[in-house]
Each structure stands twice: as C-alpha cells, then as structure tokens.
C-alpha cells in the first residue's frame, strides 16, 4: 500500500467510504464487518464515516458504531487507522437529508461521535455541509472550539466552495487539514477546490470517486476494449477493473488526493485498494483526459471558484451501443448524502 498524508499523519492512498454499510440496501452486519476487515487486510488505514450514515429513523450514529465494532473485533493492530467522521447532517428516515450546522449542534454531535467511536478525541472531524441558515464563520468557529477543547485532533470541511475553504483556513489555520467534495471522472466541478487544497497543503478526499464508471466484474479483466469508456479500454489492456483505473487516475491528479470509494462487500474494497499500486503512464493519462467531460488537464486554467453548472455524469464519454446506467460506486446507486 502506498501512503499519503493528512496533516502530518500518514494514511493509505486509498480510504474506505463506509456509508454503504449503513444506508439503504446495506449488507447484514457480518458482511459489513467483513468489508471493513478486508480493507484493513489490504492496508487501508483511513475510514470515512459520519453520524448521519443510517437508513431508518432513530439510528443516528449507526455507521460510527459499526466501524467501532469492526475495529474492536479485528485481529490485528489498528493503532494506525484514522477514522474520519462528519457532523452537521441528519436523516429523518424518509430518505431525505437535513442540514444543521449551528455551533451548539456541532459541539454536541462531535461529543456524541467520540463516545460512539470509543475515543477520547476524534482523529479527523469534518463539517459535513454548509448550512444556509447559519453563517459559515459560525459553523467553522465551532470546529475551532472543538479543537481548542481537545474533542477533535484535526478538522475538515465538506461540500464547499473555494471561498469557504479560504475562510475556514483563516479561522482554523493548521487545524484545517482536509476538504471532502464530490469528484470523479464524470463530476469534476471541484477542480478549483482541488487546486486550492493542493496549494494550501490540505488533503483532498473525493467522495463518490467512481462516478462515470459502470459496474463490472471484479473477478478478472474488465472485458473487451470495445465496451464502455476510455477507462474500460485501459482497464482491459491492463487486465484490471475500470474502478482501479479511475482511482489511479484520481491519485495522479494531485499528491493531495486520497479517494474514499464506498464498498459494501470485501471484494470491492480489496479491488479498490489495489489502485494504490497502479501507476498510469503519461500516454494512458492523456487518453483518459481526452475522453473526460470538459477536457481540462488538472494543471490548466479553469473557472474559479468552481460554480459551473454540474455536468452530466455521462457527458463527454464515448457513446455506448446501448443505454448504460452509471453507478458512482460498486453496487446500487447511493443516496445523495455526502
């Protein structure tokens, strides 16, 4: 496993997005824990969770409790595992997502998350999403208070603009260590946020990093090169899954990038973790870039602060011979809750 850093903490270059283990169509607990253990076996040392990752009403913290149980039951050393959780969102049980990022709520939520995770201080606590009803500086100020109180060791922000990153950096200083936005081959609205994170020395954690890559077999080569996107073509030539190619492409975008692909079965995260050992050639990267929506190399000038209209997940990809349902992670489509 290759490693990158969040602040001064080394973590695996590929993390585990644990949301699918607790939301709609979640696996049973035995398979969920086996998935976490498979991630650890593969060298994954970053697990991304949130207090709102649940399916039914009254299950707040379901995912955090699951991760805590999985780590406790693992037979190996987990002292180097960084559990990153989030607060500021909720799920009333009807499939919807709410946002509450008042300082009082965030402080209570962080304390509750620490208790569920069984830690004295949360390794990385992320503000899940800006609350339009609360001034951004007040929400971020709550993170500052949590840092000062020792409730959390480091802070992150999610679903943010470049202006919000800059303001949070001014308020938190070195306490701000990460940005988590949606970013994938098909959804690249956050290119400016990625560039800014790299400039500021912040880790950039793409959520739903496999958007635009249709599900394929994990049991062998991805299939004939005549099917699917350019990612499928390169995958077929390499004899690996398109998901690995997508994750390797993300890692090549910037040394700040640490993808957190979701998984609900051991085979999925084992395959994803393998992307950390995959280095794409300059020619392969060029081929993938040419097929992407917008065709912007990461180093090229682009609109700022990233308020372009969101592109279709399939825009810019070679037209398939038949309709293909795009899936942002292995298995079913996930609710839009990150």
Per the listing, tokens 């973590």 go with 11
Of the residues 53, 125, 183, 330, only one is catalytic, namely: 53
Whole-number Å distance between alpha carbons of 113 and 108: 9
106: closest CA among 83, 122, 93? 122
Taking the C-alpha atoms of residue 145 and residue 124, their distance in angstroms, rounded to an integer, is 14
Is 53 one of the annotated active-site residues of the chain? yes
CB count in 10 Å sphere of residue 167: 16
Can you name the residues that pair with 122 across neighbouring β-strands? 152
Q: How many residues does the chain have?
A: 338
Contact in structure between 47 and 39 (CB atoms under 8 Å): yes
Spatial separation of the C-alpha atoms in residues 87 and 101, rounded to whole Å: 8
* Residues with Cβ within 8 Å of residue 300, at least 6 apart in sequence: none
Name the E strands within 7-112: 9-12, 16-17, 46-48, 82-87, 89-90, 98-99
Does residue 305 have a cis bond before it (omega within 30 degrees)? yes
Residues noted as catalytic: 53
């Amino acid at each position: 496993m290759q490693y990158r850093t969040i602040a001064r903490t080394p973590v695996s270059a590929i993390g585990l997005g644990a949301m699918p283990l607790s939301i709609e169509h979640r696996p049973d607990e035995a398979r969920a824990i086996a998935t976490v253990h498979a991630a650890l076996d593969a060298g994954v040392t970053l697990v991304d969770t949130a207090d709102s990752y649940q399916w039914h009403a009254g299950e707040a913290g379901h995912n955090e409790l699951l991760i805590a149980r999985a780590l406790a039951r693992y037979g190996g050393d987990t002292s180097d595992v960084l559990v990153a959780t989030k607060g500021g969102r909720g799920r009333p049980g009807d499939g919807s997502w709410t946002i509450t990022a008042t300082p009082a709520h965030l402080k209570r939520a962080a304390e509750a998350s620490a208790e569920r995770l069984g830690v004295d201080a949360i390794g990385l606590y992320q503000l899940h999403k800006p609350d339009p009803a609360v001034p951004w500086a007040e929400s971020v100020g709550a993170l500052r208070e949590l840092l000062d109180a020792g409730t959390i060791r480091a802070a992150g922000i999610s679903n943010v603009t470049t202006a919000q990153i800059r303001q949070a950096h001014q308020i938190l200083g070195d306490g701000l260590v990460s940005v988590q936005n949606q970013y994938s081959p098909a959804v690249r609205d956050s290119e400016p946020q990625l560039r800014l994170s790299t400039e500021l020395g912040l880790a950039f954690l793409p959520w739903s990093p496999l958007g635009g890559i249709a599900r394929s077999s994990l049991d062998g080569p991805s299939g004939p090169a005549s099917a699917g996107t350019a990612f499928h073509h390169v995958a077929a030539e390499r004899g690996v899954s398109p998901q690995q190619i997508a994750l390797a492409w993300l890692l090549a975008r910037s040394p700040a990038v640490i993808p957190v692909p979701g998984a609900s079965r051991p085979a999925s995260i084992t395959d994803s973790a393998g992307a950390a050992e995959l280095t794409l050639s300059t020619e392969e990267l060029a081929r993938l870039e040419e097929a992407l929506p917008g065709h912007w190399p990461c180093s090229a000038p682009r609109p700022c602060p990233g308020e372009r209209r969101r592109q279709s997940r399939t825009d810019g990809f070679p037209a398939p011979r038949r309709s293909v349902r795009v899936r942002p992670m292995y298995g079913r489509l996930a609710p839009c809750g990150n």
